[in-house]
Structures are given as structure tokens and as C-alpha cells.
Structure 1
Amino acid sequence: MPKESFLVNRIKSVGFALKGAFLLVRTEASIKIQFFIAIVMTIAGFYYEISNLEWILQVFAIALVMGIEGLNTAVEKIADFVQPNFDERIGFIKDIAAGAVMIVSIAATIIGLIIYLPKIF
């Protein structure tokens, strides 16, 4: 079987990544909520005419939250596959992954407050 070219491999990788992103948005309630919040914040960004730097921070914060949520979901799915029954050690791992989501969510909220509070008030 001939080896696929670098370009073909990259195209396949992008396809797998898009499939994963679609599955994440389609199946995970927390990502659906975060996606909705991202849309609202994007609309707010246009409404309040935020600066380029504010856009960069907002996009980065949204991407970070959603990306870490994706990793959290992957950790949970792997943990459930490895150990379908309750296990304290698996619970510990899942709690740490959820904690990572909480940390970046708090940071994203603070970024949003720094950007929008002065514009609203």
C-alpha cells in the first residue's frame, strides 16, 4: 500500500478535527451553552464596537473555554470507557478535568467583564 502524501494526510486530519468539533457541539450540552454564549458575545462585540485587542482577547477566551471543554469531554469519555463502574480514582481524574474548565471559564468571564463593563456603564 503506497504511503499517502503529506497534503492528503493534512486534509484527512482537518476532516477528523471538523468531525470531532461537530460531534462535540451536537452531543454535549455544556458546549451548546458555551457556543450560545460565544454567539451572544460576538454580537455584543459588534454592537459595542470593541477594539482589535479586545476582539483578540475575546476570541482567545472563547476558544480556550471551548477547547478545554472538548478535552474535558474526551477525558470523561476515555475514563468511562476504561472504567464504566464508579471508581474514586476515575472520579478524581474527571474532577480535575472539570476544574480546568472552571478555571478558564472564570478567566473568560473576567475578560468579558473587563471589556464590557466600561462600555455598558
Structure 2
Amino acid sequence: WLFQTLAVGLVLAIEGLNTAVEKIADFIHPDYHEKIGFIKDIAAGAVFFAAVTALLVGAIIYYPYIAQ
């Protein structure tokens, strides 16, 4: 349970940071800007990596039960 909770918490925390980065970027430069778009893409990529990590944690935990 500890690792599952940690993985889910990691994804939610990174998603919160992603939302904050996007809102700050929109506040600073409301129109489209190439560099702001790149910053938002990096923040979204961090969420993706956190989600993939959580998926791997779940797979490692539940694989032995599914494989039986």
C-alpha cells in the first residue's frame, strides 16, 4: 500500500505543479508564445513520466497475482 500511495501521490503532486506552471505562464503571456508553449510541454512531460512510473509500480506489484 505504501508504494501505491506514494505513486498516486507523486502523479497528483506533479499534476498540481503542471497546472500551476500553466496558469503562471498564461498570466505572464496570455497570447501564444513559442517559449511558453515549450515550457508547458516540459511540465506536461513531467506528468507523463510520473504517470508511467506509477503504472510500472502497479505492474510490478500486481503482476504476480495476475500471472497466476
Task: With the length of structure 2 as denominator, give the TM-score of the two structures.
Answer: 0.94
Q: Which portions of structure 1, spanning 4 or more consecutive aligned residues, are displaced by more than 6 angstroms?
A: none
Deviation for aligned residue 1:75: 0.3
The corresponding residue for 1:59 is 5
- Given the alignment of the two structures, is residue 113 of structure 1 paired with residue 59 of structure 2, yes or no? yes
SS in 2 for 1:85: coil
* C-alpha distance in 1 between matches for 2:57 and 2:50: 10
Deviations along 1:41-86, one digit per CA (max 9) or x if unpaired, are xxxxxxxxxxxxxx11100000000000000000001101111100
- Given the alignment of the two structures, is residue 74 of structure 1 paired with residue 12 of structure 2, yes or no? no
Percent of residue pairs bearing the same amino acid type? 60
**Count of aligned pairs:** 67
Deviation for aligned residue 1:118: 1.1
Deviation for aligned residue 1:105: 0.6
Of structures 1 and 2, the one with the larger relative CO (CA 8 A, separation 6+) is: 2
The corresponding residue for 1:83 is 29
The corresponding residue for 1:94 is 40
Gap regions ≥5 residues in structure 2: none
Q: CA RMSD in A?
A: 0.6
